[in-house]
Amino acid sequence: MKTYTVASLLKETKLQEIQIKGWVRTFRAKRFIALNDGSTLNNIQCVVDFENTDEAILKRITTGAAVAITGELVESQGKGQTVEVTVTKIEILGDSDPETYPIQPKKHSFEFLRENAHLRTRTNTFSAVMRLRSALSFAIHKYFNNNGFYYMHTPIITGSDAEGAGEMFRVSTLDQKNPPLTEDGAIDHTKNFFGKDTNLTVSGQLEAETYAMSLGKVYTFGPTFRAENSNTSRHLSEFWMIEPEVAFMDLAGNMDLAEDFMKSVISYVLENNADDLQFLDKRLLDEEKTKPQAERSELSLIEKLKFVTENNFKRVSYTEAIDILRNSKPNKKKKFNYIIEEWGADLQSEHERFLVEKHFKCPVILFDYPANIKAFYMRLNEDGKTVRAMDILFPGIGEIVGGSQREERLDVLKEKMAVLDIPEEELWWYLDLRKYGTAVHSGFGLGFERLVMFATGMSNIRDVIPYPRTPQNAEF
Ligand code: 4AD
Ligand code: MG
């Protein structure tokens, strides 16, 4: 007897003596089990011979129960499936309780399912989202591996707060009630676990730069942490970031790489995850129908993904973008929460989405931002006021990628750090890269969950990571 997954069984037409294990989605008319094992969105129908099955067993076939089924794969007699399993033996591996099992065969709100995140992958929507998450992750590694990049594991605990990408979470083993103090009453971090103050990393970039300057092409793909108190549908306190870093590559090369990479990973799921995407496409369509006409998206999910893979990203300088925004209707009519008045203004999500969704109607790469709204390590342009930064903006998401060409000139970098009060002692190793064999280099960071949101059409970032960490929430 051979054990099959539902996915492998659905590819067959006729088989004898097979076994399959999974969870009961529904049990209808004492006869029809819809069985799911997570290997595919689809259930397999298992037909029970109820006249020859113990009543006590039949009672235990309830939604959520784990069962092992032995039987035969045959052509289906009914509608809705081509094959089904004629059950010869059913074993209840784990009972469910139909009274209290949270995942009933009906529509649940995403809020309710978030509270039951340990069971939500037993629904079609969440199993599809998480299979896609896994596929995207594989596609990312595949892309870099095929293109000569090395995968680098950057540290999660960091001793420097230099990136300045956001507030950090402190890592400490000191007695919180009674910490050791220095003579002037400050907490004495020399007594702390690492002999210094440490935090969870906000980005692996600075360490990735060190490896790019020896291995040439590297990338990181790991968890990053930001303690900002931003409770939005696009921010997590713990999220996964992909950060390639490449020696001898300038900003134009960085844009080319990012565009090719994004297209490649989206193409991968279009080719390999058709079932899940079709399901999510339909789900999004139903959700869109509940919105007023004016707010509905013109494209379906799959159309949106194809649109990204088939069209060039529009490359626009920050200065051009400011002109467009300043003259835009929502700016003139004061519909934006933040009115754009002058060159130098930081762009908010509402502006990014206006550019992408209303003005250009395609993914946009904005570049050459004002130096003072971007990080210290970005390469200063000859104009002395802009830096070689680039952000990629996606429809429905806003910023999905942030990157830059890095400042490779020691004197310029030191000057910048001095202005921003970043101590050289903390980043001596980063400065060393500019002392010994410095060269042009660039990279970017992709927020993995924002990519998963885009690829699945989910509108809340909490629904594309297994166990979201957000302010006031670290359940599970
Ligand atoms: O723009 P960010 O802050 O860039 C960096 O951290 C650079 N060190 C990247 C680099 O050049 N290597 O973050 C990069 C991306 C953003 O574009 C966004 O997609 C995502 O990370 N991101 C978040 N995703 C979820 N929750 C948050 N709180 C996020 N903050 C940033
Ligand atoms: Mg950014």
**Which residues, by Cβ under 5 Å, contact ligand 2, an ion?**
402
Ligand that lies nearest to the alpha carbon of residue 406, given by its number in the listed order? 1
Could you give the angle at which helices 448-456 and 124-146 cross, rounded to 10 degrees? 120
**Minimum-distance ligand 1 atom for the alpha carbon of 236:** 26
Within 10 angstroms of residue 402's Cβ, the number of other Cβ atoms is: 20
User: How far is the centre of ligand 2, averaged over its atoms, from the C-alpha of 389 (Å)?
Assistant: 9
Q: Which ligand is located closest to the Cα atom of residue 226? A: 1
Cβ-count burial 158-180 (b if 16+ within 10 Å, e if not): bebbbbebbebbebbebeeeeee
| Nearest atom within ligand 1 for CA of residue 237 | 28
Provide the CA 411 distance to its chain's centre, in angstroms: 37
- Residues 384-422: tens digit of each pLDDT: 999 999 999 999 999 999 999 999 999 999 999 999 999
User: To test the ligand 1 pocket, which listed residue (241, 367, 450) has its Cβ within 8 A of the most ligand atoms?
Assistant: 241
Domain parsing of the chain, residue ranges: 3-101, 122-167+202-463
**Which CATH fold topology does 3-101 show?**
OB fold (Dihydrolipoamide Acetyltransferase, E2P) (2.40.50)
Specify the DSSP class assigned to residue 294.
G
Q: Tell me the mean pLDDT in the region 250-276.
A: 98
| Residue showing tokens 């997590």 | 236
Tens-place pLDDT, residues 30-82 = 999 999 999 999 999 999 999 999 999 999 999 999 999 999 999 998 888 89
Of 406, 450, 464, the residue with max ligand 1 atoms within 8 A of its CB, to mutate for a pocket test, comes to 450
Q: What stretch of H or E contains 22?
A: strand 15-28
Atom of ligand 1 nearest to the CA of 163: 8
Which ligand 1 atom is the nearest neighbour of the CA of 235? 26
Ligand 1: centre distance to CA 33 (Å): 45
304-348 residue pLDDT tens? 999 999 999 999 999 999 999 999 999 999 999 999 999 999 999
Pick the ligand that lies closest to the CA of residue 244: 1
pTM above 0.75, yes or no: yes
pLDDT bucket at 296, cuts 50 / 70 / 90: confident
Q: Which CATH fold would you assign to the domain 122-167+202-463?
A: BirA Bifunctional Protein; domain 2 (3.30.930)
Going by DSSP bridges, is the β-strand pair 314-317/364-370 parallel, antiparallel, or unpaired?
A: parallel
Instruction: Look at the alpha carbons of 102, 106, 112, 116 in this order and tell me if their dihedral is positive or negative.
Output: positive
